[in-house]
Amino acid sequence: MELLVVKDKRIDYEGSAIRSHWAYRNFGILGNSIVVFRGKCDVKVEEMIDIEDLRASKEIKSDDMIHYIIEVFDLVNTLFASTLQKLFIARLCELLTEYGVKTEREGDDIYVNGEKLSISIATVSPVSIKIHIGINVEAKGIPEDVNAIGLKELGITDVEGFMERSGKTLIEEFNKIKKDSLKVRWAQ
pTM for the model: 0.95
CATH of the domain at 6: 3.30.930.10
DSSP secondary-structure letter at 182? H
- The answer to the question of residue 52 being in a domain is yes
Instruction: Assess if residue 122 is contained within a domain.
Output: yes
How many structural domains is the chain composed of? 1
Q: 53-59 contacts: CB < 8 A, separation 24 or more? A: 58/143, 59/143
With H, G, I as helix, E, B as strand and everything else as coil, classify residue 154: helix
The verdict on residue 188 lying in a domain is: no
Q: Burial of 110 by CB count in 10 Å (0-12 exposed, 13-18 middle, 19+ buried)? A: buried
Q: 154 lies in a domain? A: yes
Burial 38-59 (b: 16+ CB within 10 A, else e): bbbbbbeeebbebeebeeeebe
Inside any domain, residue 69: yes
Q: Is 176 inside any structural domain? A: yes
Summarize pLDDT for 166-177 with one digit per residue, the tens. Answer: 999 999 999 999
In this predicted model, what pLDDT tens digit does every residue of 8-54 receive, in sequence order?
A: 999 999 999 999 999 999 999 999 999 999 999 999 877 778 777 76
Structural domain range at position 39: 2-182
